[in-house]
A and B are shown apart, each in its own frame.
Chain A
């Protein structure tokens, strides 16, 4: 559909209004996300970053505009949103691990029920992923027995177990104690290196600069400026972005 067939998610004039337009969480957002990109979304609190991210897999239902994923209009009634969501992993600020299931079960339940993997296949895959984030020894623990950093690493590999094409991160390190931020960013960095397409809402400017391929600055429900990290951090154009960077850097 798109001229550039590397585009995986295409967002056009996306709007999300509350209370009959009184609150405009998103006020016309247009952008394309290409395969292999690591898009870092920054902006002040309440600027619509979460709403934007959560619209991409329809956890939030936009009130206007279109989103296409792999060329499919995700809001069309003909689209099976559950199928699409399987291709978009999501990581939340508060982890949202399933507390009644072991780590292993957290990671195997979706591949088994949705991809039809056998228990052995799913567990083998889960263990390989756990190995990758250094948590193989916690496979049979319950989420309540883990630290915040461990929980978030598990949440990431739980999403990866579904072999997603895109990973969405909504402030994955904001609920963590400072000493645990690094271990989670490390996992995300390795994921980016491995070529995963990622959209990350984060306040970690170091991560944005080092790992991002593009930084998107949002304010008041709009994209104000987007550019390479290099340009955004050394040569910001918009004065709101300049003010924002002044505060966070």
Chain B
């Protein structure tokens, strides 16, 4: 019940903030920029004052001169590109690791000999992966991949996708494992008792149910990654944050570009959080 309540108030807050931003942006556009046949004198006074203000010259200097806003736009594109592919890689890795871990847990009594040895090896390997990735900062992983492993490559987007994908995979693995474990053991037994082997029981019975329960958490991983990729500047990748920082280094004014970067992240995160909450509600309503 309380979960429902917090979810509702989260949606409401999102709506309020989005509404305020939208109204403010619309009002600013009408007052300052909208082309009009006859500009009323009070509006033209506002416009004159605006164009003469320090705020506007600061704004112009940071975003309009030399088309500096394109640093933000292109950076945003790179942020989305890296996040999108990193999430895909993370889900693929996470599913594999989760399956290896939980299949060893379930099959260790059933399997013998060679098969068990192989599965045990991968089980341990996945354990090392989880420990190392979750025990070190993502920035350090990113720098190691860029400066050590791919020292000869200059494809920064690929490096970032790898680093964040590999990092995210460790967290996704635990999300998916939790999802698999949340499915009633009777489901597994029913599948096996019909004659399905382990793999088919997982594929037809367990995974489809587990996937549904972890879908919101996976979507959240996307939101987390959008923000996490902001450290990509450490390897010189020009994503959104680095874009704002480049503007700052050109104009020597920090306020506007950094606040602009923050607002862009906020709007994106709020938008996707809203989508996730819609998804959660739909899944809850189709309780089957």
Cβ of A23 within 8 Å of any chain B Cβ, yes or no, is no
Give how many A residues have a beta carbon under 8 Å from the other chain's beta carbons.
Answer: 28
Chain A residues within 8 Å of B112, by CB: 77
A146 to B212 Cα, complex, angstroms: 21
A86 to B191 Cα, complex, angstroms: 11
Report which of B190, B195, B209 forms a contact with A92, defined as CB distance below 8 A: B190
Q: From A105, which residue of chain B is reached at the shortest CB distance?
A: B204
Cβ of A159 within 8 Å of any chain B Cβ, yes or no, is yes
Chain A residues within 8 Å of B187, by CB: 96, 98
A158 to B288 Cα, complex, angstroms: 18
Report which of A85, A94, A99, A142 forms a contact with B193, defined as CB distance below 8 A: A85
Q: From B186, which residue of chain A is reached at the shortest CB distance?
A: A96
Contact flag A86-B194 (CB < 8 Å), given A77-B112, A99-B209: yes
Chain A residues within 8 Å of B190, by CB: 90, 92, 96-98
A162 to B212 Cα, complex, angstroms: 28
Chain B residues within 8 Å of A109, by CB: 204
Q: From B191, which residue of chain A is reached at the shortest CB distance?
A: A98
A97 to B186 Cα, complex, angstroms: 9
Q: From B287, which residue of chain A is reached at the shortest CB distance?
A: A144
Mask of A56-93 contacts with B, CB within 8 angstroms, 1/0: 01010100000000000000010000110110111010
A109 to B191 Cα, complex, angstroms: 10
Across the interface, do B287 and A85 meet the contact criterion of CB distance under 8 Å?
no
- Give chain B's interface secondary structure class: helix
Across the interface, do A114 and B186 meet the contact criterion of CB distance under 8 Å?
no
Across the interface, do B193 and A57 meet the contact criterion of CB distance under 8 Å?
yes
Cβ of A247 within 8 Å of any chain B Cβ, yes or no, is no
CB-contacts of A205-225 with B (<8 A): none
A98 to B195 Cα, complex, angstroms: 15
Q: From A110, which residue of chain B is reached at the shortest CB distance?
A: B194
Across the interface, do B196 and A98 meet the contact criterion of CB distance under 8 Å?
no
A82 to B190 Cα, complex, angstroms: 12
Give how many B residues have a beta carbon under 8 Å from the other chain's beta carbons.
Answer: 23
A-B contact count (CB 8 A): 64
Across the interface, do B186 and A92 meet the contact criterion of CB distance under 8 Å?
yes
Cβ of B48 within 8 Å of any chain A Cβ, yes or no, is no
Chain A residues within 8 Å of B287, by CB: 144
Across the interface, do B192 and A92 meet the contact criterion of CB distance under 8 Å?
no
Chain A residues within 8 Å of B193, by CB: 57, 59, 85, 88-90, 159
Across the interface, do B212 and A100 meet the contact criterion of CB distance under 8 Å?
yes
A92 to B188 Cα, complex, angstroms: 12
Q: From B209, which residue of chain A is reached at the shortest CB distance?
A: A100
Cβ of B197 within 8 Å of any chain A Cβ, yes or no, is yes
Chain B residues within 8 Å of A94, by CB: 184, 186
Q: From A90, which residue of chain B is reached at the shortest CB distance?
A: B193
Cβ of B205 within 8 Å of any chain A Cβ, yes or no, is yes
Q: From A88, which residue of chain B is reached at the shortest CB distance?
A: B193
Across the interface, do A82 and B196 meet the contact criterion of CB distance under 8 Å?
yes
Across the interface, do B189 and A100 meet the contact criterion of CB distance under 8 Å?
no
Chain A residues within 8 Å of B184, by CB: 94, 96
Across the interface, do B205 and A61 meet the contact criterion of CB distance under 8 Å?
no
Q: Which 5 pairs of residues, A with B, have the shortest CB-CB distance?
A: A86-B195, A96-B190, A90-B193, A96-B186, A110-B194
19 pairs, A vs B, C-beta closer than 8 Å: A59-B192, A82-B196, A85-B193, A85-B194, A88-B193, A89-B193, A90-B189, A92-B190, A96-B186, A96-B187, A96-B190, A98-B190, A98-B191, A99-B209, A113-B200, A114-B194, A143-B288, A144-B287, A158-B194
Chain B positions near chain A (C-beta within 8 angstroms): 109-110, 112, 184, 186-187, 189-197, 200, 204-205, 208-209, 212, 287-288
Chain A positions near chain B (C-beta within 8 angstroms): 57, 59, 61, 77, 82-83, 85-86, 88-90, 92, 94, 96-100, 109-110, 113-114, 142-144, 158-159, 162
* Apart from A59-B192, A113-B196, A144-B287, 14 more pairs, CB < 8 Å: A59-B189, A82-B197, A85-B194, A85-B195, A86-B194, A96-B184, A98-B191, A98-B205, A99-B288, A109-B204, A142-B288, A144-B288, A158-B194, A159-B194
